Amino acid sequence: MENHDSTILEELSKLREEFEKFKKNFKEHADFEQRLAGKKNEERPFGMLNLPSKGLFYKDKNEFLLIGYLTYFEENILTNEMMHEANIAMPIVLEKIIINNDFNVKEILSCDVQAISMFLRAYSYGNNIEVDIDCPHCGKKDKHTIMISNFKSKDINLNPDENGEIEILIEKINKKIKIKPRSYFEEIDFQKTKRKQVETTGFYIAEFEGERDRDRIVKMLSILKITESREIRKTVFDNLPGIDTNIIYECSFCEKSSNINFGSNGADFLKLPASFMNNVLEEIFLLAHYSKGISEEGAKRMPVGERRWFINRLSEEITKKNEAEKSAVAKAKSKGKR
């Protein structure tokens, strides 16, 4: 019996030591994270972005966020196809570029991720994007240029309650619903499985005619008349906060117009092809080898927009230098002939 008690005491002592070690490691890690958070504002240049959600659905009512500009390190993530397929590229980037220390990234809404994506794309690579479109009328592939600045946030006509839910009475069908915008991370989890249209609608409905169980709500929606179901779906998506990314496209072949939605996912504007990394590395090489005072590490830490400005400026200087040298050679040859 004594041996048994002694063994138990020894095990308890070991567990206590391991727990104290765990607490020490945890505290060190927490202190490191806190110091890192305190330095966030010093790490890179940043801009201020007004949110489509207007902060109405966050506890701290963040109407805007401070967003650090993209650098080589984020580009390295955004050109990784495996990370995009696993839906981890944008979450990692969000953790890195949201400067606000008091903002919980896990709560961010999809519409605000969309706005961040568009903001960073425009600042880093310009306001215009050339996209390939398959014309729905003639079926031919066409190129179309869109301007990010043309996309506008939807108006929020109804304010949410303290739970972040918007209550709506749909008068046409006399149904009362409460809708709730979901976080970007909730949407990622939801979209892992292929969903029916009625499930997608139910995903954003927090309450339907007093019912709050999501499975029961979906069942209630599935037995409605088609006209009622369409009216509910339209009401839900008309009243969710977001950015209107619809564009009017006119085919250059058949000249017919179509309404096309561009960028329904928060990461769409920052999906960079793997081949894009070659351009990035080329720019870093040119800056590190041909500019004065910029190291390779310095070029990597530059905001993308700034790096590209330096590349264009360097190109202008090289062109001027080459033209001056050609002019000098031509003058020398001209003098030599006299």
Q: Can you say whether residue 104 is alpha, beta or left, with left for phi > 0 and alpha for psi between -120 and 50 degrees?
A: beta
Q: Sort strands 175-179 and 246-250 into parallel, antiparallel or unpaired.
A: unpaired
Over range 107-136, report the average pLDDT. Answer: 93
| The pLDDT of residue 179 is above 90 | yes
pLDDT value for 132: 86
Q: Please write the tens of the pLDDT for every residue from 225-236.
A: 999 999 999 999
Q: Please write the tens of the pLDDT for every residue from 38-90.
A: 445 456 899 999 999 999 999 989 999 999 999 999 999 999 999 988 889 99
pLDDT value for 245: 87
Alpha-carbon distance of 119 to 109, in angstroms, equals: 15
Over range 320-331, report the average pLDDT. Answer: 87
8 A C-beta contact, residue 74 and residue 62 = no
| 16: confidence class by pLDDT, cuts 50, 70, 90 | confident
> What are the helix (H) ranges across the chain?
2-38, 40-43, 72-78, 81-85, 89-97, 110-125, 184-190, 197-203, 214-222, 226-239, 276-290, 296-301, 304-337
- For the ranges 136-145, 265-274, 275-284, 329-338, the lowest mean pLDDT is seen at 329-338
Domain residue extents for the chain: 41-154+259-270, 166-240, 276-328
pLDDT value for 84: 87
Most confidently modeled range among 172-181, 265-274, 315-324? 172-181
Structure tokens at 244: 């209107």
3 state DSSP class of 90? helix
Q: Please write the tens of the pLDDT for every residue from 277-302.
A: 999 999 999 999 988 889 999 999 99
Q: Sort strands 64-68 and 166-170 into parallel, antiparallel or unpaired.
A: unpaired
DSSP assignment string, 229-281: HHHHHHHHHHHS--EE-EEEEE-TTT--EEEEE---STTGGG---TTHHHHHH
8 A C-beta contact, residue 83 and residue 110 = no
Q: What is the dihedral of CA 114, 117, 120, 121, to 10 degrees?
A: -110
- Enter the pTM of the model: 0.81
| 23: confidence class by pLDDT, cuts 50, 70, 90 | low
Over range 97-120, report the average pLDDT. Answer: 93
Q: What is the mean pLDDT of the chain?
A: 88
